[in-house]
Structure 1
Amino acid sequence: MDILNKHIVITGAARGLGFTMAEHLMAKGAVVSIVDIDPEAVAAAATKLSQGGKAFGYVANVADEASVETMFEAMKQDHDQIDGLINNAGILRDGLLVKQRDGQLTKMPLSQWQSVIDVNLTGVFLCGRETAAWMIEKETQGVIINISSIAKAGNIGQSNYSAAKAGVSAMSVTWAKELARYGIRVADIAPGFIETEMTNAMKPEAKERVGKMVPLGEWGKPVHIAQGAVFIFENDYYSGRTLEIDAALRL
């Protein structure tokens, strides 16, 4: 797919990885719609992005069906079609399944599990469903990219996150098979350790320790993920697979 003038939607794009992907795609001529839950952040990000091209901002809670459907209806008033979607919105609520300290046993609350599943898995389902329906309605041969994680293989302290990201990868394969008949490609990207606002909040010693785990010896940059997204968009024979961008790190 030629990215020039294509309408690409990115969730969780008011900041961080999503914002960088929006910048990178706009630099290649895409018309970008960013989606996030914070109205002020969306407005500020859309204004900043519009300095380098054409950007639109929409507010939605990707974990809420009515909110997603309302947002897509509003988007249809501004755009005739959707050519691409990057399901990037996600949250972290890390914690051990159970933990015992000083004779005291604690368990991960259901709410901590559910909040991550709602955003990181259900949100991908809802936005993917609405995008696929719009593409089929307009007979658009588009692309859906879901952001997974190498944590999909399982990672200590991330029962909720790992389960959600494994589900994202499985859905990507399923959708690729189901939607191929309409000319719609689907793939997912599994980043390794990437420098974002979320990871920058880690303690310096923890960041240094993580960096030493990576065979290449350093954290990835958001632009590395953006470059991966461009590859998937532009390679018309890539579908149903996970693009792992982790500098040879496998959890």
Structure 2
Amino acid sequence: MEQKKYAEIIDKGECLSTINVPPAVNILNWSNLENIKFFAGRNEWEKSNFYPSNGLVGEIEGVLYNTLWGFDVYILKIQNKFYVPMSPKGIKFITKEQMLEKQPKNLITGMDERQAKINSDYDSFMRPFSFGKPQYKDLFKQDLVKNFDNRSNGFTKQLFIRDIEQDAIMYSCDICLEFDNKSGGLLSDDWVKHIASEVCDSIEELIKEFEINNRRTVLTQVLEMMNNKSSTRKIVDRYYYGGM
């Protein structure tokens, strides 16, 4: 009998919340998990105002072995009720004892504002009849101010335009990768451009020295980096978590 495994969510952005609906559901082999397929996505979670958050723990109910995306998908069972598909980067394995210790602290909540906006507009981008694209400028601005605050040590250290450009590129790629992950790798170039443009719009309102040539640099770099997503994921992770 296979030994049970347990895990903790450490990056909710690695949740594959639409993996149980087309197009992703059609390219994965659910044969061993057919009984929970319907429940393993936000279309079911929304009925209970649930969305995965960091720190939630549970048992690994099963694994979707997936060669197409280059990683397997772990289905984490939370509170014996919610089935959460996660990429390996979004979880860490823990012991049964650790799971039992942390389980009473599981906090069941809905989406935060940023995640709700991304998921809502992911639906729009998947519809071919959707006209126009949503605005993220105000939401992005909140994140960017925090990023600039961190990088300038509470605005006590000068940030140069090249630093601002770099942060715009990394942040744009991070958001694009999140969209791409949720769409099963279907994020198009026009959406990459739109997201990067919204980031630049936010920065222009914050920093008057950020000009059209800086915007052009950001758009060019983001488009180029999104052509190699696995490498870009590593670069973005190093930038935010590796002291780059």
TM-score where L is the length of structure 1: 0.27
Bigger share in strand? 1
Q: Larger Rg: 1 or 2? A: 2
TM-score where L is the length of structure 2: 0.27
